[in-house]
Structure 1
Amino acid sequence: MLRSNAWAQIWSVIRVLAAGLIAAAIVRQLANTLEIATREGRDIGVTLVNYFSYYTILSNLLSVIVLLWAALWFWFRRRDEADEPPILARVLAATTTYMIITGIVYNTLLRGIQLAPGTSIPWTNEVLHVVGPILLALDLFLGPLRRRLPWRAAWTIAAIPIIWVIYTLIRGPLTTNPVDGSPFWYPYPFLNPNGPNGYGSVVLYIIGIAVAVIAVGFFVLWIGRLRGASVEEEESAEAQDAIDAPEHPHSTA
């Protein structure tokens, strides 16, 4: 059923609705953040860059893009395309990994942190940290026309989080916190080396999250390989068809 045209149509609509919900949460939270910054006279430029420096926002923004991409690909694909294009399959696998990590990290490390009243809107917070990750996890199991990716795709999945961590650690000490004037800004407390344990604690958290990303990435690839057709299988089937064709020649009588 999950590879039927009817199911693909239904799930493509669900992907568009999910993208719309996540996009609405991103925009609404951004509007609230900029409203507070304007009211309190904070640097709007720094506030805006900080907002899009959160792993949560980046992973959710990527979700919006890839969910819409997947739906539009299905509706406008060529007739001979039975599975997702390789690049779409890779980006979808990576995004699913990032969103699952977002849900895990938030609900294990960050949910109990108290923020200033009004800073976070409850419904947007839940969409970005809970609903969005669940939707992408469901897409892994229910999304149609999955392509079976090679295991080496796990290293592609790990690349973006590594780049984000490097960017965060370089930018952190170069950015003045627009809220309290501290000479540094980090999106999450576990990445802040100015605490009592310094960089030692940060390194441990980075290692732990890196292991989680790789583990979840392999899990996503494993599910995709169970559900999807590989390029090799498709080429083998086409080759077998070509071999079998001469065995049943059309009558010329």
Structure 2
Amino acid sequence: MLTSPAWARTWSILRLLMAVAILAAVITQLVASVTRTAENGQDVGTVVANFFSFFTILSNVGSVGVLLWAAIWYFRRGRQFRSESRGLAITLASVTTYMIVTGVVYNLLLRGIELPQGAEPVPWSNETLHVVGPIFLLVDLFVGPLRRRLPWRNVLIVIAFPIVWVLYTLVRGPLVTNPVSGDPFWYPYPFLNPNNFDLGYFGVLGYVVGIAAVIVGIAFFVIWIGRRRGARRSDRDAAAASSAERPRAAR
């Protein structure tokens, strides 16, 4: 069933709907944050920049882009191919990894902790960004159509963005004044704030190393599942092509 054209069409429609839901959740939380900031006479520009400095937001925005890309690609060109394009496959593997990490880290470390978003989280938006979206991308990994078999070296591409994001966060943090509290620093998550630890940046390092291990592990997992699904489909395609050639050869 997972390789049938009907399933590919159905799942592509679900990808479109999920992209719209995630986009609505991002916009809803952004509007809530900007509205509260404006009402309090605080710096809206800084709050918007901070909002898009959350790994959660960036991962979800990325998921909107890649789900739309995957669905549009299928309806425009995908029905002519046996697997997704290489660029789409790498991007999908990357965003899937980030969304799974978002779900795991939030629900294990951050649920119930107030984050500096500029406003209280909108409940349905919060759950969409931290639970529904990550679960959908995880399910997509197993049932999404036309998966491509990627080489293991693509894990390096997948983990490149989180490395850049951590460096950006640690460099930017002490340069930004928190528009809500007035603190001369701003970090999106408490485990990245060296002011929360007696050991300062060494305390942050422990969390960074632990979460990095999780990211690398999930990246390998995502590539592994894609390779298994891609390999099985390639074997079937090769068998079908071989049987199609036999009558021709006999003639």
- TM-score scaled by length of structure 2: 0.91
2:183 is equivalent to residue 187 of structure 1: no
Deviates more, 1:188-197 or 1:170-179: 188-197
Structure 1: runs of 5+ lacking an equivalent: none
The structural deviation recorded for 1:200 is: 1.0
Matched residue, 1:93: 93
The structural deviation recorded for 1:231 is: 11
Cα distance change of structure 1 residues 111 and 211 upon mapping to structure 2, 3 Å threshold: same
Cα distance change of structure 1 residues 9 and 212 upon mapping to structure 2, 3 Å threshold: same
Deviates more, 1:117-126 or 1:240-249: 240-249
2:222 is equivalent to residue 227 of structure 1: no
Matched residue, 2:158: 157
Cα distance change of structure 1 residues 242 and 3 upon mapping to structure 2, 3 Å threshold: closer
The structural deviation recorded for 1:197 is: 2.8
Structure 2: runs of 5+ lacking an equivalent: none
The structural deviation recorded for 1:102 is: 0.1
Cα distance change of structure 1 residues 247 and 132 upon mapping to structure 2, 3 Å threshold: same
Matched residue, 1:202: 204
Aligned amino acid, residue 201 of structure 1: G
Number of residue pairs the alignment of both structures matches: 249
Please state which structure has a larger fraction of its residues in helix: 2
Report the Cα distance in structure 1 between the residues aligned to 2:55 and 2:16, rounded to whole angstroms. Answer: 22
Matched residue, 1:7: 7
Partner of 1:113, secondary structure, is coil
1:96-115 correspondence runs (5 A): 96-114=96-114
Report the Cα distance in structure 2 between the residues aligned to 1:186 and 1:108, rounded to whole angstroms. Answer: 19
Report the Cα distance in structure 1 between the residues aligned to 2:237 and 2:115, rounded to whole angstroms. Answer: 54
1:1-253 correspondence runs (5 A): 1-77=1-77, 80-114=80-114, 119-195=120-196, 196-229=198-231, 247-249=249-251
Report the Cα distance in structure 2 between the residues aligned to 1:188 and 1:79, rounded to whole angstroms. Answer: 42
- CA deviations on 1:203-223 (whole Å, 9 max, x unpaired) are 011101111001001111111
Kindly name which structure, 1 or 2, has the bigger radius of gyration based on alpha carbons: 1
Query: Identity of aligned pairs, percent?
Result: 53
